[in-house]
């Protein structure tokens, strides 16, 4: 296995301190399927349930990714990335996140006896911060937004020559997310669903699912859901003017102003004949409450997908359509000590 530049095709080893090509291109992963990923770091992963949930007469399938270790789908990417980095002898990593990725990477780094430094924005949810602290990571609170935290982490990783274990830049993370596509496929008796609704910020889940289903041989329609207050993918897909005003959204995990893999995300939506739509915070909160009345406590980012599906199928949907909504994270992750 090795990294290669998506632009110039230059190759880099997996343990390279560089996190992008010298030409500015982002890395992709070349994988020889005969190469085993060992040793494997594990903290009790399960095949997350796929359960039918009804909203009135409409039935959706919730993929319960909130039941992963650390309470989010990011555990899939962290498990694969950290397992490979441990095998390569990496002892210290730097990462950045709005919370869920940092928590997952910190947890698996702890299990691998690997030093982890996490750069997080100052407005990180208290529940997520508590998790990262518990796993023993060194936390660096960054004044500013999610993008500022990323730039600060990149600068420090370059300066200190520390491995930048980014869930956005590192293709090993996406390799782990691909397992979600295979699980859904097998849980549907080797069928590809018609639709998958998912929240999109940096596009980690979207791209992981896209590459996974691409390997399977058929794509579902990906319906990307963003906040109307922060929707760079929506603006690009709809060819709206760039530089639209960015505001606050309760869905902190998709509050990403400048996603690095925007072109890949657009490709995934276009090739799947998918769509991008937006929801407001009121719709997100209402969806979170509706799901809560069914006994499931989900984070606002996950609720954005539910709100998007309810809006998209407002006039109903064919009964034979299998619509998947990955529950990206647990509600407890966004709770504060006052909750």
Question: Please, what is the Cα angle at 25 between 239 and 31, to 5 degrees?
Answer: 110
Q: Is 292 helix (H, G, I), strand (E, B) or coil?
A: helix
More confident residue, 98 or 6: 6
Q: In what order do the strands lie in the sheet containing 275-279?
A: 50-55, 58-63, 323-326, 195-199, 221-227, 275-279
* Per-residue pLDDT reduced to its tens digit, 71-103: 999 999 999 999 999 999 999 999 999 889 999
pLDDT for res 150: 94
Residue identified by tokens 């702890």 is 110
Q: Higher-confidence residue: 126 or 35?
A: 126
Query: Would you state the pLDDT for residue 339?
Result: 41
The 3-state DSSP class for residue 139 equals strand
Mean of the per-residue pLDDT values of the chain: 94
Give ∠ CA 37-77-214 in degrees, rounded to 5: 85
Q: Does the pLDDT of residue 186 top 50, yes or no?
A: yes
Return the pLDDT at 337: 39
Every domain of the chain with CATH number 3.40.50.1100 lies at 50-71+172-332
CATH code reported for the domain at 50-71+172-332: 3.40.50.1100
pLDDT digits (tens, 9 = 90+) for 323-333: 999 999 999 87
pLDDT digits (tens, 9 = 90+) for 103-141: 999 999 999 999 999 999 998 888 889 999 999 999 999
Cβ contacts of 318 within 8 Å, gap of 6 or more: none
Q: What is the pLDDT of residues 135-169, one digit of tens each?
A: 999 999 999 988 899 999 999 999 999 999 999 99
Give the model's pLDDT for residue 336: 53
- pLDDT band with cut points at 50, 70 and 90 for residue 240: confident
């Amino acid at each position: 296995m090795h990294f290669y530049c998506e632009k110039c095709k230059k190759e880099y080893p997996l343990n390279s301190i560089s996190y992008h090509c010298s030409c500015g291109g982002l890395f992709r992963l070349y994988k020889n399927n005969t190469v085993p990923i060992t040793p494997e770091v594990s903290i009790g992963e399960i095949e997350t349930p796929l359960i039918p949930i009804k909203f009135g007469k409409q039935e959706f399938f919730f993929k319960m990714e909130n039941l992963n270790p650390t309470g989010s789908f990011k555990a899939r990417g962290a498990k694969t990335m950290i397992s490979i980095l441990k095998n390569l002898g990496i002892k210290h990593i730097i990462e950045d996140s709005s919370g869920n990725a940092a928590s997952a990477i910190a947890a698996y780094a702890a299990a691998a006896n690997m030093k982890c430094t996490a750069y997080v924005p100052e407005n990180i949810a208290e529940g997520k911060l508590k998790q990262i602290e518990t796993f023993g990571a060194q936390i660096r609170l960054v004044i500013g937004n999610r993008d500022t935290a990323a730039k600060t982490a990149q600068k420090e990783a370059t300066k200190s020559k520390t491995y930048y274990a980014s869930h956005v830049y590192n293709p090993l993370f996406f390799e782990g997310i691909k397992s979600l596509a295979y699980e859904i496929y097998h849980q549907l008796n080797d069928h590809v669903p018609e639709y998958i609704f998912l929240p999109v910020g940096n596009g980690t889940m979207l791209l992981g699912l896209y590459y996974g289903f691409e390997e399977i041989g058929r794509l579902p329609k990906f319906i990307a859901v963003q906040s109307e207050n922060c929707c760079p993918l929506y603006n690009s897909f709809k060819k709206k003017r760039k530089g639209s005003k960015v505001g606050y959204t309760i869905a902190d995990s998709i509050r990403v102003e400048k996603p690095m893999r925007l072109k890949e995300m657009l490709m995934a939506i276009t090739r799947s004949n998918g769509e991008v739509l937006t929801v407001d915070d009121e719709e997100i909160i209402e969806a979170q409450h509706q799901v809560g009345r069914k006994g499931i406590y989900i984070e606002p980012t996950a609720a954005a997908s539910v709100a998007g599906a309810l809006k998209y199928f407002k006039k109903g949907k064919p009964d034979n359509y299998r619509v998947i909504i990955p529950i990206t994270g647990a509600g407890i992750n966004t709770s504060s000590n006052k909750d």
